[in-house]
Amino acid sequence: MSEDEELLEVENLRKWFELRKGLFSSPLYVKAVDGVSFKLKKGEAISLVGESGSGKTTLGKTILRLYEPTGGTIKIKGRDITHLKSNELMWYRRETALIEQDPYGALPSFFSIHRILEEPLIIHKFGNAEERRKRVREVLEEVRLTPIEDFAPKYPHMLSGGQLQRVAIARALTLRPELVVADEPVSMLDASVRIEILNLLRELQEKRKISFIYITHDLTTTKYFSEKLFIMYAGKIVEIGDMLKVVHNPLHPYTEALLKAIPDPDPRNREILRDVPPGEPPNLVNPPSGCRFHPRCPYKMDICQKEEPPVFEPENGRFVLCWLHAKK
């Protein structure tokens, strides 16, 4: 497959969670992901940024089919996997992987590092014992847990947080996946080791031509990871664009607010009040009508509360869900 081909195509994807329903009332839904569309090329890395409760984790997990979508389609290499059953999904599981936030909880404490890394190979019936050992050594080397002889027999409690996250990354890579979703992979690590892990992920992504979705609430770290930025708010992707363009010239008022809220280390900060919108993200059971950001938006117009904005493309390659950018 050529470099430019789409690996992943997501169309109007929805994931609603049903709340407990009363005997006579109709059920309520938390619309965690509500109409998301985007494409991802082979070997492309993107950062998906949103605040807690924006649906970014749900989107990641739905794409990996760890959740059953409520609506829309997910296609990988042109093949529709939206509603495949779990026994038909084994091949998809081999080609995708998830790296989670908490390395302390993600690894079974009763397995050695070698066994943790061998487990996916066993489950997917990869090679014989010798080939498996070789692959485990390979990935340990890739995440630089060396000397391998020292690390392979150890158990998770003997490693530091940064080392554990390396093991979690190694495990995600053992089956050579084409698509990796990393959900806040560094937010539980100390500031001094975060950059090290992000650099490692980036390096592996480039070397192995992995399509990578980096999910985070921390905009400052995304710049070092991907060229493309997806901004999510209240279950929708509200802006897509090149990292530097979005950071220096945000199109969506929410992106603008998010950027304004982030302090760089500067002693002058203490003299200023930040110009950020009041209020907090909406309840996703009953989101606001029209544009979901309109109750907090400083540029609110009449149309914003009445009609949901479609996707506009005011510049080539930049997409935004906001009426401000409607063609006049």
Partner 1 sequence: MTDTILQSRNLKLYYATRKGVVKAVNNVSFDLQKGESLALVGESGCGKSSLAKAIIRLLPRNIATYTGEVLLEGQDIMKLSDTQFRRQIRWKRISMVFQGAMNSLNPVLKIGYQVAEPLLIHEELDKKEAKKRAVEALRIVGIHESFVERYPFELSGGMKQRTVIAMALVTNPDILILDEPTSALDVITQANIMNLLKKLKKEMQLSYIFITHDIGLSSELADKVAVMYAGEIQEVADADTFYAKPAHPYSQKLMASVPTLRTEKKPEFIPGAPPSLVNPPSGCKFHPRCPSAFDRCSKENPPVFDLGSGHLVKCWWYAK
Q: Provide, rounded to whole angstroms, the least separation between the CB of residue 257 and partner 1.
A: 6
Characterize the bridge pairing of strands 45-50 and 211-216: parallel
Strand partners, 80: 75
Q: Give yes or no for a contact between 240 and 313, defined as CB atoms under 8 angstroms apart.
A: no
Q: Give yes or no for a contact between 198 and 189, defined as CB atoms under 8 angstroms apart.
A: no
Rounded CA-CA distance 328/314 in Å is: 11
The reply to whether 109 sits near partner 1 by the rule CB under 8 A is no
Which part of the chain contacts partner 1 (CB under 8 A), choosing from 23-31, 66-74, 257-265, 313-321? 257-265
- Residue choice 72, 120, 235, 281 for contact with partner 1 (CB under 8 A): 281
The reply to whether 257 sits near partner 1 by the rule CB under 8 A is yes
Number of H helices, E strands in the chain: 12, 12
Site for partner 1 in 284-323 (CB under 8 A): none
Q: Site for partner 1 (CB under 8 A): how many residues? A: 40
What are the phi and psi torsion angles at 118 (to 5°)?
A: -80, -25
CB nearer partner 1, residue 92 or residue 225 = 225
CB nearer partner 1, residue 89 or residue 193 = 193
CB nearer partner 1, residue 50 or residue 72 = 50
Rounded CA-CA distance 319/39 in Å is: 12
Could you count the other beta carbons within 10 Å of the beta carbon of residue 138?
A: 15
Alpha helix segments (H runs only) across the chain: 56-63, 90-95, 103-106, 113-123, 129-142, 148-151, 161-173, 191-208, 219-222, 243-248, 253-261, 302-306
Characterize the bridge pairing of strands 236-242 and 29-41: unpaired
**In this structure, is the dihedral angle defined by the CA atoms of residues 186, 278, 245 and 36, taken in order, positive or negative?**
positive
Which part of the chain contacts partner 1 (CB under 8 A), choosing from 13-21, 56-64, 149-157, 277-285? 277-285
- Residue choice 105, 274, 306, 307 for contact with partner 1 (CB under 8 A): 274
Residue 82: what residue type? T
Site for partner 1 in 132-161 (CB under 8 A): 160-161
- Residue choice 4, 130, 264, 302 for contact with partner 1 (CB under 8 A): 264
CB nearer partner 1, residue 118 or residue 239 = 239
Site for partner 1 in 208-227 (CB under 8 A): 217, 219-221, 223-224
Site for partner 1 in 188-207 (CB under 8 A): 190-196, 199
Could you count the other beta carbons within 10 Å of the beta carbon of residue 208?
A: 15
Fill in the per-residue mask, 32 to 71: x = in contact with partner 1 (CB under 8 A), - = not in contact.
Answer: -------------------xx-------------------
CB nearer partner 1, residue 142 or residue 178 = 142
Residue written as token pair 């990935």: 139
CB nearer partner 1, residue 101 or residue 221 = 221
CB nearer partner 1, residue 83 or residue 144 = 144
Residue 160: what residue type? S
Residues that bind partner 1 (CB under 8 A): 51-52, 160-162, 190-196, 199, 217, 219-221, 223-224, 247, 257-267, 269-270, 273-274, 276-278, 280-281
